[in-house]
Amino acid sequence: MKEYTYKISVTEQQGRQLKFYFSSLTTDMIIFGLKFSYNRARAQSGGYLMSGRKSKVKRETMLLTSEQAAWRLSNWKTMIHNYRRMGYSYPTISRIKKAIKHIAITGGKLKKIKN
């Protein structure tokens, strides 16, 4: 086993955090965390980091009125084509439809969806 030393410029608070993490975690966990962070940073800088399903559902349904929701439901096949073109998966599209149905039925904004 080899011992490595690296020099990085950090603030005092960041130094305390690094010291805590390096003393608390195993080498495998530190490498796993760095690999995850590296891949996430690459995806973010490359512009292909996809946000989670919940944010996609919220983005599609947050400002809908009951009339707009009813229109989307009556033209659902067209909406599916649009969502697939945007790269949404079928489970995500299903969640969007469930939220739109809720808005159309209750006549208002989406409050909370129970799974």
71 located within any domain:
yes
Q: Note whether 59 and 40 are same-domain residues.
A: no
Q: Note whether 38 and 68 are same-domain residues.
A: no
* Number of domains composing the chain: 2
Give residue-wise pLDDT tens across range 48-106: 666 665 677 888 888 888 999 999 999 999 999 999 998 888 998 999 999 999 999 98
Distance CA 28, CA 49 (A): 25
1 located within any domain:
no
112 located within any domain:
no
Q: Note whether 97 and 81 are same-domain residues.
A: yes
Q: Note whether 74 and 89 are same-domain residues.
A: yes
Which residues does 21 contact at the CB level (< 8 Å), separation at least 6?
30
